[in-house]
Amino acid sequence: MLIRKQFAFEAAHVLPFHAGKCSRLHGHSYRLDVSVAGALQSGGPAAGMVIDFDELARTVRSAIIDKLDHTHLNDTIENPTSENIVVWIWRRLAPELPGLTELTLWETANACAVLRADDPLLA
């Protein structure tokens, strides 16, 4: 079973190697989709769930949203392209979320970077 939850954060960045306007300071309203796969739990308060959505939200907010929201991403991530940001997010979430399967980081309404557990970048 696969579950997915969306999160949002606002952040600014500069792409230092970009030849166009993205080499100047600008910001985005990012949307992050977090997908977790696993078996349904058979007992306890999360019975019938892969993971409780509230637990998922607490983990993502603590590990990611609280660290990136309303920040200058270059202070945290060197060359903060969508691709580099989503790798940074994965490396922080994976130890906290067994079954993390896919992250989709939307930089705009029609542009995103997708990272899956089997991606060679994570090897």
d(CA 119, CA 123) in angstroms, rounded, equals 7
Is 26 a catalytic site residue?
A: no
Domain count, the chain: 1
pLDDT band at 84 (very low <50, low <70, confident <90, very high): very high
Query: Which one of the listed residues 18, 22, 26, 28 is annotated catalytic?
Result: 22
For 47-62, write each residue's pLDDT tens digit: 999 999 999 999 999 9
Query: Which one of the listed residues 18, 70, 78, 102 is annotated catalytic?
Result: 70
pLDDT above 90 covers a percentage of the chain that reads: 96
Q: What mean pLDDT do residues 93-109 have?
A: 97
Q: What mean pLDDT do residues 26-53 have?
A: 96
Q: Which of 59, 50, 115 is nearest to 87 (CA)?
A: 115
Range of the domain at 25: 2-122
Q: What mean pLDDT do residues 9-15 have?
A: 98
d(CA 82, CA 47) in angstroms, rounded, equals 35
Task: Tell me how crowded residue 39 is: count the other CB atoms within 10 A of its CB.
Answer: 8
Is 70 a catalytic site residue?
A: yes
Using only C-alpha atoms, the chain has a radius of gyration, in whole angstroms, of: 15
Structure tokens at 117: 């557990």
pLDDT at position 113 is 98
Q: What mean pLDDT do residues 39-54 have?
A: 94
CATH number of the domain where residue 64 is located = 3.30.479.10
pLDDT at position 24 is 97
Q: What does the DSSP assignment read for the chain?
A: -EEEEEEEEEEEE--TT-SSGGGS-EEEEEEEEEEEE-PPP-SSTTTT-SS-HHHHHHHHIIIIIHHHTTEEGGGTSSS--HHHHHHHHHHHHTTTSTTEEEEEEEEETTEEEEEETT-GGG-
Mean pLDDT of the chain: 97
Query: Which one of the listed residues 83, 96, 107, 112 is annotated catalytic?
Result: 107
pLDDT above 70 covers a percentage of the chain that reads: 100
pLDDT at position 123 is 84
| β 26-37/100-108 pair status | antiparallel
Is 112 a catalytic site residue?
A: no
